[in-house]
Amino acid sequence: MLNRIYHLGYAVEDIEAASIFYEENFGAVPGEPEVVEEQGIVATMFRV
């Protein structure tokens, strides 16, 4: 049985547009974008 979610990851082409979408549609306020150089990505966390 699933008791809680630690995190979810979504790959998107435009992190700024995705952050706006999640905030406007789900009320999820994005954290500061973080560069993860080992993976070649920029990540933004949202509290769920």
pTM reported for the whole predicted model: 0.72
Q: For residue 39, give its domain range.
A: 1-48
* Residue pair 17/46 in contact by the 8 Å Cβ criterion: no
**What is the per-residue pLDDT across 2-19, written as a single tens digit (0 to 9) for each?**
888 877 888 999 999 999
The total number of structural domains that make up the chain: 1
pLDDT exceeds cutoff 80 at 48: no
Can you tell me the distance from the alpha carbon of 40 to that of 47, in angstroms, rounded to the nearest whole number? Answer: 23
